[in-house]
Chains A and B, each alone.
Chain A
Amino acid sequence: MKRTVLPMGPQHPVLPEPLVLDLVLVDEKVVDAVPTIGYIHRGLEALVEKIEYTEMGYVAERICGICSFMHGMGYCAAVEDVMAVEVPERARWLRVIWAELSRIQSHLLWLGLGADAFGFENLFMHCWRMREEILDIFERTTGGRVIFSVNLIGGVRRDIDDDELLVIVEKLQELGTAFEETTRVFATDPSIRHRIEGIGVLSADDARAVDVVGPMARASGLAQDVRSTGTHLYDRLDFTPVVEEAGDCLARVLVRVREVTQSIDLIRQAVARMPKGDGQAISVNVRGRPSGETFMRLEQPRGEVVYYLRANGTKMLERFRIRTPTFANVPAMITLVKGCDLADVPNIILTIDPCISCMER
């Protein structure tokens, strides 16, 4: 049969970010997909040679505007690790709270984009309306909506007072109640099921073979989550990774839907367990220049991110390397697209939750 090559991107309505995928089609079936990247590459890892380590945190936050807080947190945690800085406990709990809020925000954002891709615009609007409530919390507590530079090497820049924390928990409870209806729609609506159930199935073996991370792995039945290793105080929270077995697009949606509820619960636990009272330290003064190397892992909304940092005792770091979750998940996307119908390509691409600016840095 005749083969047709259909280029998709870099400017395409379903992709908010530029990515080129050359789809090789036989009739309506995709037989091959060749990705081309490099449209967003900035070379920010090399900026460590020009920017002092104390200021590099601002660059790290701008690796990606969606998981901005977690990139800042990962960078600061890595520098703290190299310099053996003891971060005050309250600051560490505040980081957990902001990190989980970021996860809720990111998942709601994605669920909206996903809904838009399978043609449910109303649901897109509902998800983004709920997301604005999380952004309100960010704005009240840090002053920024998407990028808020609240991380500091040695702690955090702002405290949230105890009354405010209780208000946040209450707001999130209300959001959780409102989200139950959305959960029901995602899980049971027949038109959604018809569109994404059984589409783009990644079996557990394939998931292991292409080495996927995050919700993508958990939707294929692998209970893989950095939070379950107990770092960053997660050992003091009741946490079990959300796992779905089916491995299709619907499973990937449901993992994220359930993680929103889970993150609300994690924040409630964190607020209950953190040390209370006014006048607690939220940062320590960090002096000197780092020397040594470290690896730092975090569970971002899209999966595991790994930072490698090497310092040589000067004010510039020698090397800063980031392995982002989308980079790990793109091979799976290519595997999944092969053999599917052309009309399902946007859904499959979106369900890996691609973050191209993370991937290319």
Chain B
Amino acid sequence: MSYLRRSPWILHYDGSSCNGCDIEVLACLTPLYDVERFGVVNTGNPKHADILLVTGSVNERNIEIIQNLHRQMPDPKVVVAVGACAVSGGIFARAYNVQGGIDQVIPVDVYAPGCAARPETIIDAVIAGIGVLERKRKVSA
């Protein structure tokens, strides 16, 4: 079963990002980077996902949605915060409708910095996430 463990399925949610990181997440799936060749699939269904990629920061309105998506994902699961906004609120940290990084509402395992995070950074973070998944699986087994 080891080959299955290296093919994480990804769920992407855009918190309140400017799109910059979102299109870089999508760019990872397209021919130049093509993470699908490693079995990484972008899914729309939280119940199919191993890794939650969140771009953008937390606000009053999306707290519940992020928590819902996280709750619905099967264990073990990994959360990756993509981009400066998801990490800390980024350039918008002082805006009135931004509460800060997503680690305020759900536990974050991997932080991918950058504004916008480059595809290489995102892929690196997902690979780090696979390691975390493996460790969590061992703990729960």
Contact = CB atoms under 8 A, between A and B. Distances in A.
Interface stretch (B91-99, B105-113, B126-134): B91-99
Given A125-B31, A128-B27, A129-B32, A145 B118 contact: yes
A64 B21 CA distance: 10
Contacts of B92: 42, 44, 47, 59, 62
B87 to A, nearest CB: 15
A13 B26 CA distance: 12
B56 A146 contact: no
A128 B26 CA distance: 9
Contact of A41 (B12, B16, B46): B16
B22 A39 contact: no
B96 A46 contact: yes
A13 B65 CA distance: 15
Nearest to A126: B31
Interface residues of A, number: 38
A321 to B, nearest CB: 15
A47 B91 CA distance: 10
B58 to A, nearest CB: 11
A50 B15 CA distance: 23
Nearest to A46: B96
Contact of A62 (B24, B31, B115): B115
Contacts of A62: 18, 20, 91-92, 115
Nearest to B32: A132
A311 B22 CA distance: 33
A34 interface: no
A147 B20 CA distance: 7
A64 B69 contact: no
B74 to A, nearest CB: 17
Contacts of B24: 145-146
A128 B16 contact: no
Contacts of B94: 47, 50-51
Contact of B91 (A12, A59, A128): A59
Interface string A40-66: 111110110011000000110011111
